[in-house]
């Protein structure tokens, strides 16, 4: 399977972003989750709803608020962009 230059650039960019987020989570205690409203604002309501429905992102409800796994969102967005 051959990967085009643009797809490779996308992959490397996303991998860098994911690594940066993990470093921030570790160093400055960035939460490993985001609220539903933030996820929708960044990725769009339709995308977030589809990813949750399809099991591509994990979420939990805490005190009546939805929290969505940050890594899962980044992975789902990367896969969607590459499709």
Report pLDDT digits (tens) over 50-83.
999 999 999 999 999 999 998 899 889 888 877 6
Specify the higher pLDDT residue, 7 or 67.
Answer: 67
pTM: 0.69
* Alpha-helix residue ranges (DSSP H) falling in the chain: 5-27, 36-43, 45-53, 70-82
Give percent of the chain above pLDDT 70.
98
Sheet-wide strand order for 59-62: 33-35, 65-69, 59-62
Tell me what the pLDDT averaged over the chain comes to.
86
Evaluate if residue 40 carries a pLDDT over 90. yes
- Spatial contact of 69 and 57, defined as CB atoms under 8 Å apart: yes
58 three-state secondary structure: coil
């Amino acid at each position: 399977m051959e990967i085009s230059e643009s797809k490779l650039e996308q992959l490397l960019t996303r991998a860098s972003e994911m690594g940066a987020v993990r470093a921030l989570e570790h160093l400055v205690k960035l939460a490993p989750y985001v609220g539903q409203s933030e996820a929708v604002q960044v990725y769009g309501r339709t995308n977030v709803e589809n990813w949750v429905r399809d099991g591509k992102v994990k979420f939990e409800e805490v005190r009546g608020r939805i929290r969505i796994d940050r890594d899962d969102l980044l992975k789902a967005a990367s896969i969607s962009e590459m499709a």
